C-alpha cells in the first residue's frame, strides 16, 4: 500500500488557473484537456461556449451573463500524470470562491493576455496565491496576435506584482510571424506547423536543436539572429532558475504560446508537469499532514447545492490530503465529533459525474451532502487530525432580506441557511427588538443577484433586498462589550453570526477606526474567533 501510495502521490498534480476574464482561460483549459486526451476535438471557443451552455453551465444565470459562476474540477491523465485542474470563476465578485479553491490547489497557472499584460483581476488573484506561498507559473497567451514585447511583460510582472520571472521558453516572432518557442534548458526550438489545424486538434511541431545545422532550414537568418540576441540578453541579465525559488512562489517560470492555435501548449504542459509540485502537506492543529501518511485525511473546501436541478442535491468538495480514500469508507468528522459515511463519491468531468472507487492525495471528490458539511471541515481516518480552517473573506456588502410572500418565509430561511453553508452568503441576525429579518453579507455585490435568483428558482422564495450602508464586518471580543448600546445610527450596527457570536457592521474605515480608538479594551476581528 505504501509503495502504491508513494507512486500515486508522485504522479499527481493539482492546480488552478488564475486570470482576468477574456485572457483565454476557457480556451487553455480546453486545450489542456485536448492534450490530456480527455476530449478529442476542441471546438472553437464560441462552439465550446455554446456547448457549455448545454452541459456544464447548469445555472441559467451563467447563461444570461455569460460568466462562469461555479467551479468545477477536471481530471485528466497526461504522460502518466494524474492532473487535477480546479476551475475557478473569473468574475471578481466571486473571488471568495476562487480563494477557497486555491486552498485546495498545490500550484497556480497565471494566464496573461500578451497585449493586455497584468490586469486587475490577475493582480487580486496573484496576491491570494502569494499569501498561500504556492508556486505560480505564468503562461503568456495570444502570441498569435501582436502584443507587448516579452521583456516588457517580464518587467511588468516585477513592477506590478513584485515577482521575478524566468522564461522557460522564448517566443520566436509574434502575431502572424509567431513561429515557435525556444526551450532554454533543452536548447531546442519547437517550430509549429502553421497550416492544417485551427486549434481543433494537436498542432504538428518539429523540434530542432539550436546548435544544429538543421536550424537554418527551419528559421530564417533574421529570426535566428534575433533569437540569439534575446537569449544572450536573458542569460546575462536574467535570474538563475532554481527549483526552490519556483516552489516557494518567489520566481515564476514563464511560458509563451497561443491557446487558440495550440502553439506552445504542449511545451508548457510538459514543463509544468515536471516543475509543479506533487501534492503538498496541509497544516493541521498538530503540525503538517504529509500526503504519504497512510491514513486517509481530507478537508472540505467548497459546497455546492442544486448542481443538477433534476436532483436537488448538495455536493461537498473534498480535497484528499493523505492516504487513500476508498469508496464507501467511514471517516471521523471532527467538527461533529462522530464517524460519518462518505456517501456517493464522484469526480467531475465538467458537469458529468463519474462514480469513483478510490482517490489519492491531490484528488478532489464530490461527496453527497445531507447537510452535515461546512467549508473547512476535516474528514479523516482516526480522530487525531484537524486541518486549519479555510480562511474566509470578510463581506463588504450588506442587505436586509425580506420575504415577498410571508407564506414562503420558511423556504426562504431554508434556502438562506443552505446557501450560507455553501459559502455564497453570510447570514447575520439583527439584535434589536422586533427586527426579525436576517441580514446577508457578501464579498461581491453580484452575489446578491445570485442569491435572489437561486432563492427564487431553487427554493420558490421571492425576496426583496434592502441594501445597508455598511462596508465592514468585525467580530468583537472583549469582556465589557454591550451589544445593546453599541449601535450608532447609520454608522454601526451590532448583529450575531449563526454561532451566536457578536459582530459589528461599520459604515466605512472612519467608523471602524473611531470604534477602535474609543474602545481599546475591545478587539475587532476580521475573522470569527475560534469557538
Ligand atoms: P476566459 O475564459 O479567460 O474568459 O477567455 P476565453 O477562453 O473565453 O477567451 C476569450 C476570448 O479570447 C475568446 O474570443 C477567445 O477565442 C480568445 N482567445 C483565447 N485564446 C486566444 C489565443 O491564444 N489567441 C487569440 N487570438 N485569441 C484567443 P471571443 O471573441 O470571446 O470568442 P470567439 O469569437 O473567438 O469564439
pLDDT in tens, 208-237: 999 999 999 999 999 999 999 999 999 998
392-407 mean pLDDT: 89
Q: Evaluate: CB of 21 within 6 angstroms of ligand 1.
A: yes
Distance in Å, CA 373 to ligand 1 centroid: 37
State the pLDDT confidence band at 38, using cuts at 50, 70 and 90.
low
DSSP letter (8 states) at residue 157: I
Q: Name the residue of 17, 20, 27 to mutate for ligand 1: max ligand atoms within 8 A of Cβ.
A: 27
Q: What is the mean pLDDT of the chain?
A: 85
- pLDDT value for 64: 46
Q: How far apart are the first and last CA of the chain?
A: 38
- pLDDT value for 476: 94
Residue 133 and residue 166: Cα distance in Å, rounded? Answer: 17
Residue 196 has pLDDT above 80, yes or no: no
Q: Evaluate: CB of 176 within 6 angstroms of ligand 1.
A: no
310-314 mean pLDDT: 66
Residue 350 has pLDDT above 90, yes or no: no
Q: Evaluate: CB of 253 within 6 angstroms of ligand 1.
A: no
Distance in Å, CA 421 to ligand 1 centroid: 34
Q: Evaluate: CB of 19 within 6 angstroms of ligand 1.
A: yes
- Residue 449's region, left for phi above 0, alpha for psi from -120 to 50, else beta, is alpha
- Residue 382's region, left for phi above 0, alpha for psi from -120 to 50, else beta, is left
- Reduced to 3 states (helix: H, G, I; strand: E, B; else coil), residue 129 is helix
Instruction: Give 89-127 pLDDT, tens digit per residue.
Output: 656 666 677 778 888 999 999 999 999 999 988 888 898
Which of 302-306, 369-373, 407-411 has the weakest average pLDDT? 302-306
Question: Grid coordinates standing for 317?
Answer: 468538495
- pLDDT value for 93: 61
- Indicate the pTM of the whole model: 0.82
Q: Evaluate: CB of 429 within 6 angstroms of ligand 1.
A: no
Q: Evaluate: CB of 146 within 6 angstroms of ligand 1.
A: no
Atom 34 in ligand 1: residue holding the nearest Cα: 46
Which of 162-176, 227-241, 442-456, 513-527 has the weakest average pLDDT? 442-456
Which of 254-258, 341-345, 442-446, 449-453 has the weakest average pLDDT? 341-345
Distance in Å, CA 262 to ligand 1 centroid: 12
Atom 10 in ligand 1: residue holding the nearest Cα: 22
Q: Evaluate: CB of 4 within 6 angstroms of ligand 1.
A: no
505-513 mean pLDDT: 95
Residue 12 and residue 277: Cα distance in Å, rounded? Answer: 9
Q: Evaluate: CB of 145 within 6 angstroms of ligand 1.
A: yes
430-440 mean pLDDT: 88
Q: Evaluate: CB of 144 within 6 angstroms of ligand 1.
A: yes
Amino acid at each position: 500500500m505504501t509503495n502504491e501510495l508513494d507512486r500515486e502521490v508522485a504522479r499527481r498534480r493539482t492546480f488552478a488557473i488564475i486570470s482576468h476574464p477574456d485572457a483565454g482561460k476557457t480556451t487553455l483549459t480546453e486545450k489542456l484537456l485536448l492534450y490530456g486526451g480527455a476530449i478529442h476535438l476542441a471546438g472553437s471557443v464560441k462552439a465550446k461556449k455554446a456547448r457549455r451552455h448545454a452541459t456544464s453551465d447548469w445555472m441559467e444565470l451563467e447563461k444570461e451573463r455569460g460568466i462562469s459562476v461555479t467551479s468545477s474540477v477536471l481530471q485528466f491523465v497526461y504522460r502518466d500524470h494524474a492532473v487535477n485542474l480546479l476551475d475557478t470563476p473569473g468574475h471578481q465578485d466571486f473571488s471568495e470562491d476562487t480563494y477557497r479553491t486555491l486552498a485546495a490547489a498545490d500550484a497556480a497557472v497565471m494566464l496573461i493576455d500578451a497585449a493586455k499584460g497584468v490586469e486587475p483581476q490577475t493582480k487580486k488573484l496573484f496576491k491570494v496565491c502569494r499569501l498561500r506561498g504556492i508556486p505560480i507559473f505564468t503562461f503568456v497567451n495570444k502570441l498569435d496576435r501582436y502584443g507587448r514585447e516579452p521583456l516588457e511583460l517580464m518587467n511588468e510582472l516585477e513592477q506590478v506584482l513584485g515577482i521575478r520571472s524566468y522564461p522557460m521558453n522564448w517566443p520566436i516572432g509574434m502575431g502572424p510571424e509567431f513561429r515557435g518557442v525556444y526551450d532554454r534548458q533543452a536548447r531546442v526550438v519547437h517550430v509549429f506547423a502553421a497550416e492544417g489545424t485551427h486549434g481543433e486538434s494537436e498542432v504538428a511541431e518539429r523540434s530542432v536543436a539550436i546548435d544544429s545545422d538543421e536550424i537554418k532550414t527551419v528559421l530564417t537568418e533574421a529570426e535566428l539572429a534575433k533569437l540569439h540576441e534575446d537569449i544572450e540578453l536573458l542569460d546575462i541579465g536574467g535570474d538563475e532558475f532554481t527549483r526552490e525559488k519556483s516552489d516557494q512562489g518567489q520566481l515564476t517560470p514563464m511560458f509563451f504560446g497561443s491557446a487558440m492555435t495550440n502553439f506552445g501548449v504542449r511545451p508548457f504542459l510538459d514543463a509544468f508537469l515536471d516543475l509543479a509540485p506533487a501534492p503538498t502537506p496541509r497544516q493541521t492543529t498538530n503540525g503538517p499532514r504529509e500526503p504519504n501518511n497512510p491514513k486517509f485525511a481530507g478537508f472540505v473546501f467548497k459546497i455546492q447545492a442544486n448542481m443538477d436541478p433534476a436532483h436537488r442535491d448538495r455536493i461537498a468538495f473534498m480535497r484528499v490530503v493523505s492516504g487513500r480514500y476508498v469508496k464507501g469508507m467511514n471517516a471521523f468528522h471532527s467538527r461533529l465529533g462522530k464517524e460519518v459515511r462518505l456517501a456517493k463519491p464522484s469526480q467531475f468531468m465538467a458537469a458529468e459525474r463519474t462514480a469513483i472507487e478510490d482517490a489519492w492525495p491531490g484528488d478532489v471528490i464530490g461527496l453527497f451532502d445531507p447537510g452535515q458539511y461546512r467549508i473547512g471541515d476535516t474528514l479523516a481516518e482516526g480522530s487525531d487530525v484537524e486541518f486549519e480552517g479555510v480562511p474566509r473573506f470578510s463581506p463588504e456588502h450588506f442587505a436586509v432580506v425580506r420575504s415577498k410572500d410571508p407564506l414562503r418565509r420558511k423556504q426562504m430561511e431554508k434556502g438562506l441557511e443552505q446557501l450560507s453553508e455553501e459559502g455564497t452568503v453570510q447570514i447575520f441576525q439583527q439584535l434589536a427588538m422586533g427586527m426579525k429579518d436576517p441580514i446577508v453579507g457578501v464579498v461581491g455585490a453580484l452575489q446578491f443577484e445570485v442569491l435572489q435568483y437561486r432563492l427564487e428558482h431553487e427554493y420558490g422564495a421571492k425576496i426583496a433586498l434592502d441594501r445597508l450602508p455598511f462596508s465592514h464586518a468585525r467580530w468583537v471580543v472583549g469582556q465589557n462589550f454591550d451589544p445593546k448600546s453599541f449601535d450608532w445610527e447609520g454608522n454601526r450596527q451590532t448583529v450575531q453570526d449563526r454561532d451566536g457570536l457578536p459582530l459589528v457592521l461599520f459604515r466605512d474605515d472612519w467608523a471602524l477606526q473611531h470604534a477602535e480608538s474609543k474602545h481599546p479594551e475591545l478587539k475587532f476581528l476580521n475573522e470569527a474567533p475560534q469557538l
